[in-house]
Each structure stands twice: as structure tokens, then as C-alpha cells.
Amino acid sequence: MNPPQPRCAQALIPSPDWALFLDVDGTILHIADSPNGVVPNKRVCRSLCQLTTHLRGAVALISGRTIENLDRLFAPLKLPVAGLHGLERRDAGGDLHILGEAESLEHLRRPFARLAASRGGVMLEDKGRALAIHYRQAPEEAEAVRHQVEDLVLPSARDLRVLHGKMVSEVKPRHADKGSAIHAFMCEAPFMGRVPVFMGDDVTDEDGFAAVNVLEGHTIHVGGGLETAARYRLSDVDRVTEWLESLPSRFRSRHR
């Protein structure tokens, strides 16, 4: 049986007891041809500042990017954040929690570099504790890249996990995912005791959706076409921007 279709997120009634968790690329920022091509959005940054105040600090980014990269992208804003799909996490107090070792991927660096170099428009992004092969500029290479990545990782499948996202195949240690990162935040102030709300756009966000559904929170998928465990949906990044901007006034109106 197919899962029920997600409802429009506009049906959600915002509550000041929410804990808001946000994926970045494809969710609150438009995807670019390369990771370095993503452009910061002042409207989103302004909304995140306002929401941090309204939710008493319970706003976090949950991304495949590194924390260092996210800090540059959202500067001067410095939120609680989980990077590398949960392998690194900075809590609300500023403490870092690191899982996985860059050395666990050392045997794959040269083969991945050769794979990227052998196909026009394909690039390798080395994140230290994760490796990503991007083929957004060569979509015709998708099937071949996915198969080769799977073959290269297969001997290490006990310790490593492959994530096939939008025009990217990524490998990382099996120590964490976006769901476990959200669980960790929910055990700490200021997230503890709140209702988790997680928004993402890709198959790499499904671990987060599953975790938040178990916690009886709200899950929002951005975009269409993919089967998802999320229970709500918004059509694109621009609608997400508008929705985030609307939340502060809707929080206020609820308490009049």
C-alpha cells in the first residue's frame, strides 16, 4: 500500500513550543550547479534570526555540508547545527560532537578522484569524513556514477554507507544520520520537551523524517515527485521562504 500523500504545510498551526530543524540545500536555499555556487539568502537569514527569538533558541540546521561551510554561508548567524549528515554537531552551548574519522575513507579518495576525472562534468567534493560525487552538470552520467560508487564502497559496506541524493552520490561512515542528530538535539536544551518539526527535500532527509514521525512531530517535504515519509509538503524553496517569514506573526496571533 502506498503511503498517504503529504498535506500542504500551510495546514499546520504554528506553535511556540516547536523545535525547528531545517535542511539547507534545496530546502531553505536554492541548489546550484556546484556546492560552492550556492548563494546566501538574506530573507531566510532574517527569518531564522526572528524564529530563534520566538522559539527561544530551538532552531537548528541539519545538513550534508560541513559546519565550517554552513557558518560561512549563514554568517554572521551561528546556529546549533548538524553537519555531514550528523557526523559533526554543534549544540546550543557551542560544544562540538564529532563522529567518524577521515581516515576511514582514505582508501576511496584516489578511486573517487579517478572516477570524477574520467567523466566530463562530474566532480569530487572531499568533506573530510565524507566524500561526494556530484553530477548535476552531467545528468546523463547518473546511472554509471551510482553503479561505480556502489561497487567501490561494497567491500567496506559494513562500515560505510552510500547516500544517493539529488545529482550526488555520497559515502560516509555509518556512525550517524540526520535522524540521530535530531534525536541528540531533542535530548538537550533548548530543544528538550518541544515538538520537533523537520523540513527537507531529498532522500537523504528520510532518516530525519522517520525520526521526527516517531517523536510525533511534524515532517515537511520540499518539492514533489519523490515518495516520502514526510506528512506535509511545500512545493519549492520560495514557498519555504514565504512560510518561514509568516511564522512569527502567526505565533503572535495565536496568543492574542
DSSP state letters, 19-62: EEEE--BTTTB---SSGGGPPP-HHHHHHHHHHHHHTTT-EEEE
Residues 168-192: what's their mean pLDDT?
A: 95
pLDDT(7) > 80:
yes
Sheet order of strands, 123-126 included: 123-126, 131-134, 168-173, 160-165
Work out the pLDDT band at 135, boundaries 50, 70, 90: very high
Q: Is 94 exposed, middle or buried (0-12, 13-18, 19+ CB in 10 A)?
A: exposed
> 214: Cβ–Cβ under 8 A, 6 or more apart, which residues?
none
pLDDT value of position 3: 62
CATH level 3 topology of 102-173: Alpha-Beta Plaits (3.30.70)
What are the structural domain ranges in the chain?
Answer: 7-99+176-254, 102-173
Percent of the chain with pLDDT over 70: 97
Pair 211, 19: CB distance under 8 Å: no
Selecting among 17, 23, 151, 202, the annotated active-site residue is: 23
Residues 99-106: what's their mean pLDDT?
A: 84
| CATH fourth-level superfamily of 7-99+176-254 | HAD superfamily/HAD-like (3.40.50.1000)
Work out the pLDDT band at 72, boundaries 50, 70, 90: very high
Q: Is 23 a catalytic residue?
A: yes
Residues 178-182: what's their mean pLDDT?
A: 97
